[in-house]
Amino acid sequence: MIPRSRRRLLGLYVIALAMLVVLGGRLWYLQVMDTAQYQALAAVNQTRTIVVPAVRGTITDDTGQPLVGNNTEMTVSVNMMQLSQTTSDGGKAVLARLAPLLNMSDTTLSEEVRLCTRGVPQPCWTGSPYQPIPVAQRVSDAVALQIMEEPSLFPGVAAQLSPVVDYPMPDGANPAQVLGYLQPITQAEMARDHLPETGFAGDDLVGQSGLEAQYNQALAGAAGTQIVSVNAAGDVLRTVGGTPAKTGDTLVTSLNAKVQAAAQQALNSAIARSRAAGNSPDQGAAVVETTTGRIVAMASYPDYNPNVWSGPISQQEVDYLFGTGGSAGSGEPAVNWATQGQYAPGSTFKITSTAAAVADGFPLNGLYNCPASVSIDGHTFINDGQPNLGAMSFTEALAQSCDTVYYDIGYQMWQSDDNKANYARNASAPVQKMQQMELDWGFGNYTGVDLPEDAAGTIPTRQWLYTMWEANAHQGQNWCKYGKANGSYVQQIEYDDCQDGWVWQPGQAVIAAIGQGYVTATPLQLANAYVALANGGTLYQPRVGEALVSPSGKVAAEISPPVVRKLPVAAATLAYMRSALADVVTSGTAAGAFSGFPLNQVCVAGKTGTAQIMGKVATSVFASFAPCVNPKLVVVVMLPNSGYGADAAAPAVRQIWDSVFGLEGKKAAMPGGSLPALPNLAATATAGGQ
439-481 tens-digit pLDDT: 999 999 999 999 999 999 999 999 999 999 999 999 999 999 9
Distance between CA 582 and CA 676 in Å, rounded? Answer: 27
350-368 tens-digit pLDDT: 999 999 999 999 999 999 9
- Please say if the pLDDT value at position 636 is more than 90: yes
Q: ∠ CA 422-427-433 to the nearest 5 degrees?
A: 45
Distance between CA 69 and CA 201 in Å, rounded? Answer: 18
- Please say if the pLDDT value at position 76 is more than 70: yes
Domain spans, the chain? 75-165
Distance between CA 4 and CA 8 in Å, rounded? Answer: 6
- Please say if the pLDDT value at position 326 is more than 50: no
pTM: 0.83
Q: What is the pLDDT of residue 512?
A: 95
139 in helix, strand or coil?
coil
Q: What is the DSSP string of 410-426?
A: HHHHHHHS-HHHHT---
Answer yes or no: are the C-beta atoms of 131 and 200 closer than 8 Å.
yes
Q: What is the pLDDT of residue 685?
A: 45
Quickly count: other Cβ atoms within 10 Å of residue 642's Cβ. Answer: 28
Q: What is the pLDDT of residue 126?
A: 72
20 pLDDT band (50/70/90 cuts)?
Answer: confident
Alpha-carbon separation of residue 233 from 38, 150, 236, 446 (angstroms): 21, 20, 9, 59
Pick the most confident of 96-100, 305-309, 610-614, 666-670.
666-670
581 pLDDT band (50/70/90 cuts)?
Answer: very high
The average pLDDT across 190-201 equals 53
Mean pLDDT value across the chain:
86
Answer yes or no: are the C-beta atoms of 551 and 690 closer than 8 Å.
yes
The average pLDDT across 618-632 equals 96
| Residues 6+ away with beta carbon under 8 Å from 24 | none
Q: What is the pLDDT of residue 34?
A: 55
* Of 538, 517, 524, the residue nearest 623 (C-alpha): 524
291-316 tens-digit pLDDT: 999 999 999 999 998 888 876 677 77
3-state helix, strand, coil in the chain (%, to 5): 40, 20, 40
189 pLDDT band (50/70/90 cuts)?
Answer: low
In 155-235, DSSP assigns E strands to: 157-166, 182-184, 205-207, 224-230
Q: What is the pLDDT of residue 120?
A: 83
Answer yes or no: are the C-beta atoms of 477 and 437 closer than 8 Å.
no
Q: What is the pLDDT of residue 234?
A: 52
327 pLDDT band (50/70/90 cuts)?
Answer: very low
- The fraction of the chain above a pLDDT of 70, given in percent, is 84
| Residues 6+ away with beta carbon under 8 Å from 346 | 514, 515, 516, 608, 609, 610, 611, 618, 619, 621, 645
| Residues 6+ away with beta carbon under 8 Å from 495 | 479, 483, 484, 485, 487
- The fraction of the chain above a pLDDT of 90, given in percent, is 55
The average pLDDT across 545-571 equals 95
490 pLDDT band (50/70/90 cuts)?
Answer: confident
Which is higher by pLDDT, 328 or 650? 650
